[in-house]
Amino acid sequence: MKKILLNLLILAGMSVQSNAQQWLQVKGGAGLALAQGYEGTTPGVGILGGLGYKYQIYKRLMMEGDVLFDSRALSYPTNQIDKDGFTIMTPGGGSYVQIPITIQYMIPFKKKQLIPYRVGQPQSYFFLEGGPYFAYGLSVTTYNNPDFIAPFLGTADTFTAAGLTPRKIDVGITAGIGVNFKIGENGKRFIVGARSNFGMLNIYNDDRLGKATNLALMGYVAYDINLTKREHIRHPW
């Protein structure tokens, strides 16, 4: 993870000389974590935090890459019943290093021409974003039903240690919406947004144990630090 962060900072530093606008971003948030497709799971709390790099690729298009610590807590149903007749739940979830890469489409609050104007720097704007993400699980926990596993023991179809271990790699789609506010005259900005992360890979390595994919609904705030010197031009929104 240290190498990823170092490369992100080096890329940002090398890009300062570019004419395109760039920002270093600090981001943090929380929301709802779920295991989609596994019947009976109880949603829990998810948190995220990390650094991002933003690069303007066109007057209303922005590319953003983040390196985030993403932690999720939820509960899986067991095969046991308590004295009151309710299913006993067991903790699950995971901690991931997540790298989403999104394209943002900016929608300014006001469409007008400013003279002089700075490239892609409206006072405030809405944005829509989407793109893929890759995540590596530092710690992932699921529930393996022992009553289901027992009949396979000693047979050709017995479960291997690898099959009983949750999948650490996750790949999926990130989609979101937010509002970006200008702060002062030095290019710094404040963002309030929401993202949904839809995992595409089964958390279980062996499909016989169950089907569960990661799903997170997160709200966040972020702070952008300007990395470029802007040149004044005419530009109509």
Residue 82: alpha-carbon gap to chain centroid: 36
At 186 the pLDDT is 78
Q: What domains, with CATH codes, occur in the chain?
A: 29-226 (2.40.160.20)
**pLDDT at residue 192 above 90?**
yes
At 6 the pLDDT is 55
What is the sign, positive or negative, of the torsion defined by CA atoms of 186, 229, 236, 176? negative
Between the CA of residue 201 and those of 94, 110, 166, 167, 189, what are the distances in Å? 14, 41, 11, 8, 35
For range 199-213, the mean pLDDT: 96
Tell me the pTM.
0.80
For range 159-173, the mean pLDDT: 96
Instruction: Tell how strand 44-58 and strand 61-81 pair up.
Output: antiparallel
For range 178-187, the mean pLDDT: 87
At 229 the pLDDT is 64
Over residues 16-69, the pLDDT tens digits come to: 444 578 999 999 999 999 999 999 999 999 999 999 999 999 888 999 999 999
**How far is residue 213's CA from residue 194's CA, in Å, rounded to a whole number?**
20
Q: How confident is the model at residue 99 (pLDDT cuts 50, 70, 90)?
A: very high
At 128 the pLDDT is 98
Task: Identify which of 132, 122, 218 has the alpha carbon closest to the alpha carbon of residue 178.
Answer: 218
For range 165-180, the mean pLDDT: 97
Range with the poorest average pLDDT among 86-90, 119-123, 125-129: 119-123
At 116 the pLDDT is 47
The 10 Å Cβ neighbour count of residue 158 is 11
At 117 the pLDDT is 44
**pLDDT at residue 11 above 70?**
no
Over residues 80-95, the pLDDT tens digits come to: 999 988 999 999 999 9
Q: Which of 43-47, 115-119, 150-154 has the highest mean pLDDT?
A: 43-47
